[in-house]
Chain A
Amino acid sequence: MAKSKTKKIFWNAFWTDNPVFRQILGICSTLAVTNLMVNTIIMDIGLIFVLIMSNVTVSLLRNVTPRRIRMMVQVLIIATYVILFDLALKAYLPDISKALGAYVGLIITNCIIMGRAEAFASSNKPYPAFIDGLASGLGYSVILLAIAIPREILGFGTIMKDTFLQVTLMPESFTKWIIMVMAPGAFFTLAIVIWIIRGWTGRSGEDKG
């Protein structure tokens, strides 16, 4: 496949049609796991893994899967990879598995995965589907981190809290903005991030309809 086409698929999924700020998908997890960067990063890894694997699998089966049951098949595929990821975390990273709790299982309800399976993978070859999955996952991850970083800095005064990379940015006298690590802080930050990015990238999306 031509390099430019791969690049186009990647850029479309990563930025032009970014799942979070453009399509407003996957908001539930965006709000839930962004108060600590470490939780965000693990969630991102899980989502990228599930997105790539389900995209490739859906794409491989696209010619045999009967149209009328394709959604059932997609859910089955996605659920399988989510359970595999959950088991792997439980077995090899038990502390992180404990910290994320139900959120890992809830990857299955992330609309981005089913959205990409239905909109892209079910009508494209495995390699483009792989690129699309990777790029959508990265697009999601970048926005999640853009929300997590200010939330953690203002809420805890740190970055990468609870890891060996922890850096305390704020002085001891800094009053932590408790609201930033609670649910309302996620809503405010998400809205501000979307506002900034849309303001910056212009209104081309809406103009095209």
Chain B
Amino acid sequence: MSFRKTRSFSVLYMFILSAIFAGVISLVKVGTAEQIQDNDRIAASKSLVRVFELMEITPATTGAELAAAIEKQVRKFWVVEGAAGPELVSTQPSADTQVLYRMWAAVDESGAPFAYAFPIGGKGFWGPIQGLMSVETDFITIRTVVWTKHSETPGLGARIEEDQYRAKFRGKRADNPAAHRFQVVPDGTMGNDPHKIDQITGATQTTVVGMGKFLNDNFTDWHRYYPLLKQHFGAPAPANEPETQQPTANDGQE
């Protein structure tokens, strides 16, 4: 019997072939790693720029432009477990620190905040949904939302990403659910109620069941931690302050 018909040849052959193919994949993976990381970074920057409506994003917008806008106007905060309970830090905590919460503030030229943002998300229909929500300096009035990750059905649940739907959040209130529960109601019935948002017809699982629950959970967390931000920045700005920022706020309204 020739060697090529033996069991050892089969094993050797499979072993060598696996090594070759795994090698090719490793090379390509290493070769594209930087690009993929860049893409993730750009996607994260875009979300922050969009949630604070810092600039218009076009296909020509570069990662550097986004990074510059964020560097200039966005401050990041982490809530970590401190000696005397939760503590707000403005520098990236070390990897072994347990991060309880993340928050962002957008500041104007003088360093005064004009908006805050916090993470939202939870269980969707097909998988987890993640996003960011921005609020005015009263910490409650919603400016806009962006979704960073979801796997909802295109054309149904995925329509939460559409500008028309995102615009419906503007002016609603992220009150503490213990006092005012945020409700997802049948399409077209929300009116001016600050605690009601329209559902998307055909996407009940995503909007009513998913969002209806997780937004309230998210708001509970926000109310637990935003006093730390309030402490950090002092008293909220005068009531007319957010108004002056409105002209730039065109993202969700077109």
Partners in one complex: yes
Q: Hey, which bits of chain A sit against chain B, CB under 8 A?
A: 35-36, 39, 61, 64-66, 68-69, 72-73, 76-77, 80, 83-84, 87-88, 90-92, 94, 99, 101-102, 155-156, 161, 178, 181-182
- Contact at B17–A76, with CB atoms within 8 Å? yes
Interface residues on B, range: 20 to 34
How distant is the Cα of A69 from the Cα of B10 in the complex, in angstroms? 7
Q: Does chain A have a CB within 8 A of B28?
A: yes
Q: Does chain A have a CB within 8 A of B235?
A: no
Given contacts A66-B4, A94-B43, A99-B154, contact A88 B14 (CB under 8 A): no
- Contact at B18–A76, with CB atoms within 8 Å? yes
Residue from B17, B28, B151, B153 whose CB has the most chain A CB atoms within 10 Å: B17
Given contacts A65-B13, A72-B14, A73-B17, contact A181 B35 (CB under 8 A): no
Q: How many A-B residue pairs have CB under 8 A?
A: 68
Q: Give the residues in chain B near A65, CB-CB below 8 Å.
A: 13
- Contact at A36–B13, with CB atoms within 8 Å? no
- Contact at A64–B32, with CB atoms within 8 Å? no
- Contact at A64–B39, with CB atoms within 8 Å? no
- Contact at B202–A80, with CB atoms within 8 Å? no
- Contact at B13–A84, with CB atoms within 8 Å? no
Majority DSSP secondary structure for residues of B touching A: helix
11 extra interface residue pairs, beta carbon distance < 8 Å, beyond A80-B24, A155-B155, A181-B155 = A35-B153, A36-B155, A65-B13, A72-B14, A73-B14, A80-B25, A91-B35, A178-B156, A178-B201, A181-B154, A182-B153
Q: Give the residues in chain A near B43, CB-CB below 8 Å.
A: 94
Majority DSSP secondary structure for residues of A touching B: helix
How distant is the Cα of A159 from the Cα of B28 in the complex, in angstroms? 35
Q: Hey, which bits of chain B sit against chain A, CB under 8 A?
A: 4-5, 9-10, 13-14, 17-18, 21, 24-25, 28-29, 32, 35-36, 39, 43, 151, 153-156, 201-202
CB nearest to A84 among chain B residues: B28
- Contact at A66–B10, with CB atoms within 8 Å? yes
- 13 A-B contacts (beta carbon < 8 Å): A35-B153, A35-B155, A39-B154, A64-B13, A66-B4, A66-B5, A80-B21, A80-B24, A80-B25, A83-B25, A84-B28, A91-B32, A181-B154
Q: Give the residues in chain B near A68, CB-CB below 8 Å.
A: 10
- Contact at A90–B17, with CB atoms within 8 Å? no
How distant is the Cα of A101 from the Cα of B32 in the complex, in angstroms? 18
Residue in contact with B39 in the complex, picked from A69, A72, A91, CB distance below 8 Å: A91
Smallest CB–CB gap between B241 and chain A, Å? 36
- Contact at B155–A94, with CB atoms within 8 Å? no
How distant is the Cα of A181 from the Cα of B21 in the complex, in angstroms? 38
